[in-house]
Amino acid sequence: MPLTIAICDDNKAQIKELNRLLEKWSADKPLDLNIDEYISAESFLFGYADKPCDILLLDIEMSGINGMELARKLRANGDMLPIVFITGYSDYISEGYDVEALHYLIKPVNESKFFAVLDKFTQRNTVSEQIILPCGSETLRISPERITYVEAQGRRTAVHFSGGQMFDCNMSISRFEDMVIHGFVHCHRSYLVNLRYVRSITKTDIILDNNTTVPISRRLYNEVNTQFIKFYTGEK
């Protein structure tokens, strides 16, 4: 199973230690582990656009944009990237709840607690469903949970991500729909939307968490509305 973990910390020694722990944790697991390192929130925001990750290990006390500010920026864009705060301070725990952090670990990181957090994350199968997108001269492996909506552009599609990124892909929207990805609904002949990011539905539009508006056809309104309710109530 492929898994990309990003570490964002302005302490190189801490990054090295987290790398050591991750390698130890993954040694006996069927994982294709990739670790991306960032020395600041600014460098993460710059790199994240082209190098999506499955989970972020984030320090809080950093120069420039601190970790909590970075988390708020992601959430403001509707990006629900799983975040584990790793810090030397306990003062921010309540703020961690505000940005829906996955967990909060105090430095020095306790190995057993760290491993337990990672085990719980992988057991939830949040990264087990991956798809391959042919985009220009490269091929991307991504988690569909990070896609907010897909827009048809002739024989190509524009795939929009929760962080605000957009990739122009060499595939039709019907081919994307054939992947049968849970949580996506056809709301218009030219649009597929991820119900995870839908804030509200009107007769003419779908409004996403980041305030993006996606059109909905009159013919599909009842079906989309039904699927939206089922998705959040757990009905079959």
What is the rounded average pLDDT of the residues 26-50?
A: 92
CATH superfamily for 131-233 is LytTr DNA-binding domain (2.40.50.1020)
Average of per-residue pLDDT across 12-40: 94
Mind listing the pLDDT tens digit for each residue in 144-184?
878 899 999 988 999 998 777 888 998 888 888 887 677 89
Confidence check: pLDDT of 14 > 80: yes
pTM, two decimal places: 0.59
User: Does residue 128 or residue 112 have the better pLDDT?
Assistant: 112
Pick the CATH number of 2-123 from 3.20.20.70, 3.30.1540.10, 3.40.50.2300, 3.20.20.150: 3.40.50.2300
Domain pair 2-123 / 131-233, same fold: no
- State residue 127's pLDDT score: 45
Residues 225, 74: Cα–Cα separation, whole Å = 27
* pLDDT tens by residue, 206-230: 999 888 999 999 999 999 999 988 8
Domain positions in the chain are 2-123, 131-233
